[in-house]
């Protein structure tokens, strides 16, 4: 999977020695720029935009997000609690399945509660009725699966065959529509407008009989709106037309687009040896700090990296250095890079576009320390450490 981001922006001039290693550094000026793009789309199209906490839940910047967007979307009880405590605006919660003991609080916190199947709504009808009887106000939604795969990698495609995510759209009936207030449809991953248009072309025919019967249609996330080449003017018109056709309020839930190119992960070379090519151990672990490198898989862009020819990488020539983490997992390999610094212990380097997903997926496997978290304003050059993790973080999650 090839990353479509990696613009260094102001980080091209950032001194990597100003922070700990390893460390996430988020540029608040770039974050604001991304949010301004999303707010502009929202205003011109007359829709609502929610930030997806699953991708970027750095709640110290929640007040900034609240200045631009309409709220957040969450993936269960704990994210809903985080949203209720720190974020402004609406809260939309979707989970593939709810535990009955969690649902009561989720209904109290959330404005939209979205289910994965009509059967779940029916089974939880008593809990829903009790919440409404005590005065809670919320909408019930249903996630649908348009059965139209557009993803590059099947494991990241909610419309892959036999997907567990969403109710198959070809099974949708009037009885199901009568259960809900709105529909949710999340099908994309780091994609632009054309896959969305193709997906809507398929979904349109199934949903047209129900137009005017649901209050809102949530198009989920995966929209790379803040990428420079995204077709934003076309998107605005597409959303306006969708609202006119459906009679519903339209929601978008960008996650990655909120923090695209807004953060780096700073690391240090710890050791270098030769095993047919230079091999370096770093204090950044793919397994612990950037798991999508292994799961997607993909090769993260490096700050200041020289371009490497594929043949040179394959032959281990031309200054290519293989970088891996400090854990005991043999597969803890980040990739092959032509470093912008000498391949020597103590040298600093950084990976680009690491504010989203990497930060929320970190683990302490093998006792590998977590990166500290920093907030930098590239316009004022103010730099603050938001969070440092001690070994007690590792100790206290175990027993």
Average pLDDT, the chain: 95
pLDDT, residue 312, reads 47
The answer to the question of residue 1 being in a domain is no
Question: Does pLDDT of 1 surpass 70?
Answer: no
Which tens digit of pLDDT belongs to each residue from 122-157? 999 999 999 999 999 999 999 999 999 998 888 889
- State the angle between helix axes of 100-109 and 77-86 in degrees (0 to 180), rounded to the nearest 10: 20
pLDDT, residue 383, reads 98
**Burial category of 100 from C-beta neighbours within 10 Å (exposed 0-12, middle 13-18, buried 19 and up):** exposed
The mean pLDDT of 239-258, rounded to a whole number, is 98
Which tens digit of pLDDT belongs to each residue from 185-213? 999 998 999 999 999 999 999 999 999 99
Which tens digit of pLDDT belongs to each residue from 44-76? 999 999 999 999 999 999 999 999 999 999 999
Whole-number CA gyration radius for the chain: 22
197 lies in which domain range? 46-259
292 lies in the same domain as 189: no
The answer to the question of residue 31 being in a domain is no
143 lies in the same domain as 251: yes
Q: Domain end: 238, 259, 280, which one? A: 259
Which tens digit of pLDDT belongs to each residue from 82-104? 999 999 999 999 999 999 999 99
102 lies in the same domain as 58: yes
Q: Which residue has the tokens 């504010």?
A: 355
Global pTM value: 0.94
Q: Domain end: 259, 279, 308, which one? A: 259
pLDDT, residue 388, reads 98
- Decide: 258 and 299 in contact? Cβ < 8 Å: no
The two structure tokens encoding residue 1: 């999977």
pLDDT, residue 317, reads 46
pLDDT-derived band of residue 16, with 50, 70 and 90 as boundaries?
A: very high
Element housing 382 (H / E): strand 382-387
Higher pLDDT, 36 or 2: 36
pLDDT, residue 308, reads 52
């Amino acid at each position: 999977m090839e990353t479509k981001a990696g613009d260094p922006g102001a980080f091209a001039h950032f001194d990597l020695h100003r922070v700990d290693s390893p460390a996430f550094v988020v540029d608040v000026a770039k974050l604001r720029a991304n949010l301004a793009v999303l707010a502009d789309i929202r205003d011109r199209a007359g829709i609502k935009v929610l930030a997806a906490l699953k991708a970027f839940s750095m709640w110290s910047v929640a007040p900034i997000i609240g200045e631009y967007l309409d709220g957040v979307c969450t993936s269960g009880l704990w994210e809903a609690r985080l949203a209720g405590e720190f974020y402004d605006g609406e809260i939309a919660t979707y989970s593939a399945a709810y535990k009955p003991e969690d649902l009561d609080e989720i209904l109290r916190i959330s404005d939209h509660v979205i289910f994965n199947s009509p059967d779940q709504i029916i089974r939880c009808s008593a809990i829903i009725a009790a919440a409404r009887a005590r005065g809670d106000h919320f909408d019930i939604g249903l996630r649908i699966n348009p059965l139209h795969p557009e993803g590059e990698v099947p494991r990241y495609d909610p419309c892959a065959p036999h997907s567990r995510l969403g109710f198959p759209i070809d099974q949708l009936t009037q009885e199901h529509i009568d259960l809900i207030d709105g529909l949710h449809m999340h099908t994309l991953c780091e994609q632009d407008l054309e896959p969305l248009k193709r997906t809507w072309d398929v979904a349109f025919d199934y949903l047209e009989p129900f137009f005017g019967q649901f209050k809102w249609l949530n198009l989920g996330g995966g929209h790379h709106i803040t990428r420079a080449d995204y077709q934003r003017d076309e998107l605005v018109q597409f959303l306006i037309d969708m609202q006119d056709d459906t009679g519903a309020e339209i929601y978008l839930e960008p996650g990655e687009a909120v923090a695209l190119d807004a953060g780096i992960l700073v690391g240090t070379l710890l050791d270098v040896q030769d095993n047919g090519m230079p091999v370096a151990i770093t204090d950044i672990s793919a397994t612990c700090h950037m798991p999508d490198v292994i799961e997607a898989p993909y090769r993260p862009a490096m700050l200041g990296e020289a371009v490497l020819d594929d043949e040179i990488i394959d032959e281990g020539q031309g200054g290519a250095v293989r970088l891996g983490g400090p854990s005991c997992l043999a597969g803890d390999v980040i990739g092959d890079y032509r470093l912008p610094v000498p391949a020597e212990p103590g040298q600093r380097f950084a990976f680009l576009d690491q504010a989203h997903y990497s930060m929320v997926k970190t683990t302490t496997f093998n006792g590998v320390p977590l990166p500290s978290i920093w907030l930098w304003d590239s316009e004022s050059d103010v730099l603050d450490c938001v969070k440092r993790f001690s070994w007690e973080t590792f100790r206290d999650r175990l027993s």
